[in-house]
Amino acid sequence: MSEELRITGFWSFLKAILFRPAWEFYTVGGFFTFLFVGTWWRDNFASDEWKRKLELKGIIPQWHPAWWLCIGLLIILLLAVRESYRLWLKAEQANEGLRKAIAASKSEPLPVTAPQVSLKSETAESLPIRRLLLSNISRTEPIYNLVFQPVRLKDGANVIWIGEEQQLLSPGSRMALGPILFLTDSYVKEFNGVESVFKFLQLDGLKPSYDIGPIAFTCEDGVQNRYLVTFRVEVTSGGNRMNVKDIERIRIGSRPSLGA
């Protein structure tokens, strides 16, 4: 779509409905052109008998103006539905392209410089889990520019994982992580600590374990490839054992060079 036809708001959407060249525009334009030419010919060349026959009030139905207004609004509604469907179809095609690109990136082997990480509890198993430890288990490759992403825990609850104030995770080093739980209903509450997460989940009923993931962050390797790393973490109802169910690493691009 060109910049002139790009939908950026309500007025551009209305403009696209009413004025984008289409068969409705050409049909209405041709109809009024025909009426103009016919009226000019009738008034200047037709006999009195044909002038009476070709009067518009004898051709166009004599409906109440409210009916004509309803017909016009119905046409605009149909145009709006058609344009909305076209925009939805275009967005769906773009999303399908993104899904295919993500699937293709997952099937590609990761570079040797890709982050190698593990996650475990900071405390012993006899104590409630308060923080987690993110470790760089690579022997040679550091991890740069870690940025943790806010994630949805359930309806009305979001979790932001906070790491220690460091943007570099050297080979063999560790970073402590703690969650901040936000409840968004009629007001906002803030809870700190891993135990606050599964205690909140216990409000929906007791279970043997609770999924407190995903824990997600973006980062870069030594050659400025960017990655999205996601952990799925399960904590027992007692809060003293955890299990990393899954870890996913996806390459999401590269930092552009200064000369790009």
Residues 116-151: pLDDT tens digits?
999 988 876 555 677 889 999 999 999 998 988 888
Q: Which residue segment(s) compose the domain that 53 sits in? A: 3-107
Residues 172, 248, single domain; the answer is yes
**Residue 260, in any domain of the structure:** no
Residues 38, 74, single domain; the answer is yes
Highest mean pLDDT among 34-43, 85-94, 185-194, 226-235: 226-235
Residues 131, 243, single domain; the answer is yes
Residues 124, 98, single domain; the answer is no
Residues 100, 133, single domain; the answer is no
Given pLDDT bands bounded at 50, 70 and 90, which one contains residue 5? low
Number of helices (H), then strands (E), in the chain? 6, 12
What is the pLDDT averaged over residues 13-34?
70
**Residue 221, in any domain of the structure:** yes
CA 168, CA 219: separation in Å to the nearest integer?
9
Q: Can you give the pLDDT at residue 48?
A: 76
Residues contacting residue 19 through CB under 8 Å, at least 6 positions apart: 25
Q: Residue type at 219?
A: C
Residues 199, 239, single domain; the answer is yes
Residues 56, 146, single domain; the answer is no
Domain boundary, last residue among 76, 107, 138: 107
Residue 210: closest CA among 178, 187, 188, 242:
242
CA 122, CA 141: separation in Å to the nearest integer?
23
Residues 159, 93, single domain; the answer is no
| CB of 195 closer than 8 Å to CB of 179 | no
CA 126, CA 234: separation in Å to the nearest integer?
17
Task: Identify the weakest region by mean pLDDT among 13-27, 92-106, 217-231.
Answer: 13-27
Tell me which H or E stretch contains 233.
Answer: strand 225-236
What is the pLDDT averaged over residues 222-240?
83
Cα 85 to chain centroid, rounded: 18
- Please give the C-alpha separations between residue 136 and each of 37, 125, 169, 177, in angstroms, as whole numbers: 81, 22, 7, 13
When comparing pLDDT for 215 and 71, which is higher? Answer: 215
Asked if the model's pLDDT at residue 19 lies above 80, the reply is no
Per cent of the chain over pLDDT 70 is: 76
Q: Can you give the pLDDT at residue 73?
A: 85
| CB of 146 closer than 8 Å to CB of 219 | yes
**Residue 259, in any domain of the structure:** no
Q: How many domains does the chain have?
A: 2
Domain boundary, last residue among 107, 132, 159: 107
Residues 136, 194, single domain; the answer is yes
